[in-house]
Amino acid sequence: MRSKRDGSGAETLDDDGRRDREEAGVDSEVGGELDASGATATAGAGDAERDALEARVREDLEREGVLGDEGTRLASAVVDALLASGPDGYADLLRGIRLAHQVRTDAAADLARSHRELRQLDRLMRGFATELRKLDEVVEVLSAYLRRMRTTAGEATRHTLH
């Protein structure tokens, strides 16, 4: 079942009913498309072909900013999903991962900023508590001074002769 591309630029379909990326001239902005032959061959592939596909996916994920162990774990999951859905969903799958990773990264940045602000607020409150203790000491000294003034003033008025 191979339909030809008409003048409007519609995609052609291969024998499996999948879009033929090469004839349609479709290329994804998200790390490129896997060709139908590579993904189809991998569907029944051995470990070496799966590893090669996983390495390609890992490279695409790294290009999208998903790095380290997280990228490795996701690459394996993407290969599983790709083998289940075929090559047509690869670009959409990468876009979804990129968006989810971006949300997670933004949330982590917000959490880090909130943590910094909380530490700063804690430092300010500790400084405020220290100043309040100093003020309390000054009030106690003034209170003792006033008590002494009252007792001294009371004695001074008793000795005054007029």
Give 134-145 pLDDT, tens digit per residue.
999 999 999 999
- Give the pLDDT score at 2: 37
Structure tokens at 55: 């390495």
| Residue type present at position 71 | G
Query: In angstroms, what CA-CA distances link 143 with 8, 126, 135, 149?
Result: 93, 26, 12, 10
pLDDT at residue 106 is higher than 90? no
**For 151-160, what is the mean pLDDT?**
68
Tokens of 10: 């519609």
User: Which residue from 77, 79, 37 is spatially nearest to 56, judged by alpha carbons?
Assistant: 79
Predicted structure pTM score: 0.39
**Bridge partners, 13 (sequence order):** 3, 19
The whole-number pLDDT of residue 6 equals 43
Q: What is the pLDDT of residues 58-95, one digit of tens each?
A: 888 888 777 788 888 888 888 887 777 776 777 777 77
Candidates 26, 13, 90; CA nearest to 56 is: 90
pLDDT digits (tens, 9 = 90+) for 6-57: 444 443 334 444 433 333 333 334 444 444 334 444 445 578 888 888 888 8
